[in-house]
Each structure stands twice: as structure tokens, then as C-alpha cells.
Amino acid sequence: MARVVVLLLVLGLAFPGHAAPASQQSGTFLIVAGTSIGPISLGMSFEEVLKLFGHYGSQNVAIPGFPRYIWTELPDNRLVGRFVVSTAGSPASVDAISVASDGRYMTSTGIHIGDPSASVRSIMGAPAAVQTGFYDADIWLYQGIAFTIGNSNSKQCEGRVCGIGVGRGFAEVF
């Protein structure tokens, strides 16, 4: 549970992005619950991630054994926000993925960063669980996907989707 909180807490600090027109949406920016965000899939080796994105901008280990790698502003406009990959195991493989600030990313159900929280509820229903108590965001957990929603302290994305994360069974951690 703590790993999910730490991974997604970083999303609460993000700025909402702007979505590309539907005609420009593609698998490159598709988020599939419990599976992938864009070209990065759960279970993918960390070496494969490096081949796709190049060297990460920063790394931290908030929870021992679960390093997180952060990319921002990739060349050729492939990423204009923040992309976080959490790894586990040896050799390291992708355990969780999150994206913030890049509204081109959209779930298979049509939700993208910057959408109002009411859109998430109307499409996804009530979350299985909600993590509160963060300064500027709440995290709505569903099976395999989580949405970071800005709260009243968020200057950038109050009442909107600030970020989206995928993992295996986010709602199962409770």
C-alpha cells in the first residue's frame, strides 16, 4: 500500500495537461488499466524501458527495494509531462507506472489528465477506495488503475485529474 501511495503522491504535484484532439490519440498515449501506459507495460524489463525512453532524469527510493525512475520532457515531444516507473525484483521489471501533466495520455475509457473528477465518476463509477490526507490531492483507486484528483489545496488541478497510474490490483492493497 505504501508503495502505491508514494508512487502516486508525486502525481498530486503535477500540472494538468492539455489533451490532443481525438484524431491524434493513439496507442502511444493509451492507458490500459492493469496493463500499460503508452509504450511501457507492467512486467517489462527496466532495460526495455531505457531503450524506449533513454536515461531517466532522476531516481529515488522512497521504499527500500522499490526504486522509482522519473522522466520529464523527452526529446521529439514524446513526453511533455512527468512519467514515473517503479521497479521491483532482480533483474528489475516494471511494477507500476504513472503519468502526469501530459493530457495526450488517455485511458481506454476516454479519461485523460485535466478532465473533471465528475467525468471519472460517471465513466468508472465510485472508486473501490479513496486515499485522502495528502496536501493537494486525493487518490481514487480502481482495479488496476488510480486517478490523482486535485483537492481544494491544489492550485494547478483542483477538482481535476492530475495524474493516472496503473499497477496490478491497486484496489487490492486495502
**pLDDT score for 138:** 93
CA–CA distance, 45 with 52 (Å, rounded to integer) = 11
pLDDT value, residue 26: 53
Kindly report the pTM of this predicted structure: 0.79
pLDDT at position 18 is 38
Give the closest residue to 166 by CA, choosing from 72, 66, 38, 78.
38
Closest CA to 103 of 4, 40, 29: 29
CA angle 87, 4, 144 (to 5 degrees): 90
pLDDT of residue 80: 55
Q: Return the pLDDT at 155.
A: 83
Could you read off the pLDDT tens digit of each residue along the chain, which spans 174 residues?
A: 344 433 333 333 333 333 444 434 456 889 999 999 998 999 999 899 989 888 888 887 767 777 888 887 665 555 556 778 888 888 888 988 999 888 888 999 999 999 999 999 999 999 999 998 788 899 999 999 999 999 888 888 899 999 999 987 665 432
Identify the CA nearest to 102 among candidates 170, 25, 6: 25
